[in-house]
Amino acid sequence: MADGFVGSGDPAYDAKVLMISVAARMAGMHPQTLRQYDRLGLVQPGRAAGGGRRYSVRDVVLLREVQRLSQDDGVNLAGIKRIIGLEQLLEQAQARLAEMEAELDAAHRRIAELEAMARFPGRDIVPTRRTSTALVVWRPRRTS
């Protein structure tokens, strides 16, 4: 979803600070439409202390996408809700994949380190003398 706003990595992108009238104007919708989409679960605005809805830039981008899917592509609201849910699952899966790839890279680096150490087994070994508790019995030979 191209949006022309701040980048999605920017913390301001997710800050729930826009009043419903501002978010509606930015999305090109009537505030009542935003309330309806909230009731349907298409968008989840935050709430101010007094209970008023607060939207983020991410929410406005989502509202624009809902409008595009509905008006341009003819998708009904139930279908749009399903699409949004699947996109969220995909984002979560991609984030988990990135985490797992980072873990795998770290494991590969560790394996390479261990293999390098195995080629030179004595390199890091320092001999030490341990105190022994063994008892040795010695008898001199008698010479006759």
Number of domains in the chain: 2
**Token couple for 52:** 């008023």
Calculate helix-pair angle for 20-27, 31-40, nearest 10 degrees. Answer: 100
pLDDT band at residue 125, thresholds of 50, 70 and 90? low
Residue 48 belongs to domain with CATH number: 1.10.1660.10
Query: Tens digit of pLDDT for each residue in 7-53?
Result: 566 777 888 999 999 999 999 999 999 999 999 999 999 999 999 99
CA distance 129 to 131: 7
- Verify that 56 and 19 share a domain, yes or no: yes
pTM: 0.65
- Verify that 54 and 94 share a domain, yes or no: no
pLDDT of 127: 67
